[in-house]
């Protein structure tokens, strides 16, 4: 009975083992095909990124030429002997052309910053000084938009390893977004720019593990289902926005090993919190 049991077991188990091996091999083959396709897709995305970046650079060159010639035409019209109404009509058209050239230049600049590689120069920096510099730089823009700007900085330096230039760019993008949201959400009462439309507050707090920079506004707030969408490229709900400012900001912060967390309530404003690690590889 033992020998017959062994023989029958072998006859039954053999095909089962072969079938199991075939299914395993089939799964591995499918996985290999998916990985190969994914690798090819990645290579295609890299090539596409290089192509679009090069195309953007090529567009910027003739765009600069158009802008320069528009400026020369304005100077020529001012010196030309033309009826005043005719000169005014042509100057208005050239002014519209110049504004569109600058708008396209801004779109291309934002795209190139978003599409380009982020190379960090990490050094220990005092975040309080960085925020103070941004306050001095951006305060006139807030005044122009009728926004009150304030800072809440710690009494002691908050040294954190960051790329100062790129961190300023990311925070400035958040500040511009907040100011535009307050300006777009404010009622058009016909009042002058000195009537406050909202507040922009920059605040820093920290512990041993991370530092947090808050960019707080008293604007219209963001619906919960839109919070993740606002960081997607080319998603913009502000007038004249390219939809790349928040995407670029998040990318820069993530390259630092940090993250951006948004707390918002519709009708009461938003708090964009930039979390940055206090330690970084290669720094002490």
The token duo for 117 is 């590689």
For residue 59, what are the CA distances in angstroms to 62, 64, 70, 185?
6, 9, 17, 34
In terms of domains, do 132 and 79 share one? Answer: no
In terms of domains, do 267 and 141 share one? Answer: yes
Cβ atoms 98, 63 nearer than 8 A: no
- Exposed, middle or buried by CB within 10 Å (0-12, 13-18, 19+), for 148? middle
Whether 37 is covered by a domain: the verdict is yes
pLDDT score, position 74: 82
DSSP β-ladder status, 198-206 and 147-152: parallel
In terms of domains, do 128 and 70 share one? Answer: no
The token duo for 49 is 């990124």
In terms of domains, do 94 and 188 share one? Answer: no
Whether 284 is covered by a domain: the verdict is no
| pLDDT in single tens digits along all 284 residues of the chain | 544 444 444 444 444 444 444 454 455 545 555 655 555 555 555 555 555 656 666 676 777 787 788 888 888 878 888 888 888 888 888 888 888 777 777 666 666 666 656 678 899 999 999 999 999 999 998 998 899 999 999 999 999 999 999 999 899 999 998 998 888 765 544 444 445 579 999 999 999 999 999 999 999 999 988 888 888 766 555 555 556 788 888 989 998 999 999 999 998 999 999 999 998 665 44
In terms of domains, do 101 and 220 share one? Answer: no
DSSP for 183-221 reads HHHS------TTS--EEEEEEEEE-SSEEEEEEEE-SS-
The token duo for 240 is 């004249």
In terms of domains, do 111 and 165 share one? Answer: no
Q: Which of 78, 98, 116 is the last residue of a domain?
A: 116
DSSP β-ladder status, 269-277 and 198-206: unpaired
For residue 93, what are the CA distances in angstroms to 76, 80, 98?
14, 16, 9
Hey, which bits of 96-168 come out as E strands?
A: 123-126, 147-152, 159-162
Cβ atoms 148, 93 nearer than 8 A: no
Token pair 């090819």 in the structure block, residue: 40
Rounded Cα distance, 276 and 210, in Å? 5
In terms of domains, do 269 and 150 share one? Answer: yes
The domain spanning residue 265 has which CATH number? 3.30.565.10
Rounded Cα distance, 256 and 162, in Å? 7
pLDDT score, position 218: 93
Cβ atoms 254, 231 nearer than 8 A: no
Q: Which of 101, 116, 131 is the last residue of a domain?
A: 116
Whether 41 is covered by a domain: the verdict is yes
Rounded to a whole number of angstroms, the CA Rg of the chain reads 29
Into how many domains does the chain fold?
2
Whether 282 is covered by a domain: the verdict is no
Range of the domain at 29: 1-116
Q: Which of 116, 141, 164 is the last residue of a domain?
A: 116
In terms of domains, do 147 and 90 share one? Answer: no
Residue 271 pairs in a beta bridge with 216, 263
- Write down how long the chain is: 284
pLDDT score, position 191: 42
In terms of domains, do 179 and 161 share one? Answer: yes
Residue 146 contacts by C-beta under 8 Å, 6 or more apart in sequence? 183, 186, 192, 193, 194, 195, 196, 197
DSSP SS3 for 277? strand
pLDDT score, position 243: 62
Q: Is the pTM of this model over 0.85?
A: no
Cβ atoms 183, 147 nearer than 8 A: yes
In terms of domains, do 127 and 268 share one? Answer: yes
In terms of domains, do 170 and 106 share one? Answer: no
Whether 156 is covered by a domain: the verdict is yes
In terms of domains, do 156 and 64 share one? Answer: no
């Amino acid at each position: 009975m033992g020998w017959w049991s062994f023989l029958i077991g072998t006859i039954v188990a053999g095909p089962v083992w072969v079938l199991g091996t075939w299914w395993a091999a089939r799964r591995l083959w499918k996985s290999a095909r998916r990985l190969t396709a994914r690798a090819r897709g990645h290579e295609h995305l890299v090539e596409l990124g290089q192509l679009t970046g090069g195309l953007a650079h090529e567009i910027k060159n003739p765009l600069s030429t158009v802008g320069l010639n528009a400026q020369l035409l304005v100077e020529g019209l001012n010196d030309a002997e033309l009826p005043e109404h005719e000169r005014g009509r042509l100057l208005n058209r050239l002014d519209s052309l110049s504004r569109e050239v600058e708008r396209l230049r801004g779109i291309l600049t934002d795209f190139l910053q978003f599409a380009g590689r982020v190379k960090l120069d990490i050094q220990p920096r005092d975040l309080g000084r960085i925020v103070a510099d941004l306050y001095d730089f951006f305060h006139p823009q807030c005044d122009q938009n009728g926004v009150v700007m304030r800072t809440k900085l710690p009494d002691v330096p908050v040294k954190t390893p960051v790329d100062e230039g790129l961190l300023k760019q990311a925070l400035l993008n958040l500040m511009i977004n907040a100011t535009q949201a307050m300006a777009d959400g404010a009622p058009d009462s016909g009042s002058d720019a000195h009537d406050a439309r909202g507040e922009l507050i920059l605040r820093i707090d920290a512990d041993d593990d991370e530092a947090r920079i808050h960019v707080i506004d008293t604007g219209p707030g963001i619906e919960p289902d839109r919070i993740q969408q606002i960081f997607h490229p080319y998603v913009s709900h502000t007038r004249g926005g390219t939809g790349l400012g928040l995407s670029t900001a998040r990318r820069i912060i993530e390259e630092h090993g940090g993250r951006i967390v948004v707390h918002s309530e519709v009708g009461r404003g938003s708090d964009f919190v930039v979390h940055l690690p206090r330690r970084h590889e290669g720094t002490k």
